[in-house]
Amino acid sequence: VGPPAPDVYWTKGSLRIKSNKPKTLKITNATLQDNGEYVCHAVNYLGSDVKGTKIVVTQLKFIDRPPSTVNAALSQTIVINCTASIAQRFPYSYAQWSTPHCSTSTSSRRTVLPNGTLIITNAAAADSGLYQCSVAFGRERLTANVTISVPRVDTSWMLTTDRCRGFRQSAYDRSVYYAVSSSNVWDK
């Protein structure tokens, strides 16, 4: 559409969109409600023309948000999921795990799966601390903090103490007894 200058406006469905600059469609602070087909109309007394475009707004959300705390036993395998999706349509699995001091890269005991799951095998007290899962898409970023606690000494094998005789029996091997001192220090 040429001279004379056309009247230009945008519509979404049957609604006309108000704009200070009608030749430009500008959506600030877009939300999922802004998704849809938009049509630019140019009209003058000689005729009209229309051109459509589709706007897709994405929103990053956790599908599996990690728990805030994980208490694990010594030598246990720790599995923590951290998966997000974009606008509930597309699974988005790229998650980075880090601690305050460094990224949690894959090692012999730590693995980050493609779906964002962190696996720590043979958990040790050194694995205790704050972990952060980060998922980013464009300018959007989601983070979740997880505090992992692993005790320094494995006490899961112990049974009740026979205070009269001063011994405790191993839950794994009933033929092994441990002497108990008054300070609860164990000697084999």
Q: How far apart are CA 76 and CA 110, in angstroms?
A: 12
Cis-peptide, bond into residue 4, ω within 30° of zero: yes
pLDDT band at 135 (very low <50, low <70, confident <90, very high): confident
For 30-73, what is each residue's pLDDT tens digit?
888 999 999 999 999 989 999 999 998 878 888 888 899 999 99
Q: Are 153 and 185 in contact (CB under 8 A)?
A: no
DSSP 4: S
**Higher-pLDDT residue of 156, 42:** 42
Identify residue 173 by its one-letter amino acid code. Answer: D
**Higher-pLDDT residue of 27, 172:** 27
| Mean pLDDT (the chain, rounded) | 78
Q: What are the strands of the beta sheet with 90-92, ordered from one edge?
A: 60-64, 83-86, 90-92
Q: Which residue's structure tokens are 């599996």?
A: 64
Q: Among 20-24, 124-128, 180-184, name the most confident range.
A: 124-128
For 78-99, what is each residue's pLDDT tens digit?
999 988 887 656 666 578 888 7
In the structure encoding, which two tokens stand for residue 104, read together? Answer: 């949690």
Identify residue 45 by its one-letter amino acid code. Answer: Y
Among the listed residues 7, 50, 55, the one whose alpha carbon sits nearest the alpha carbon of residue 27: 55
* pTM for the whole structure: 0.57
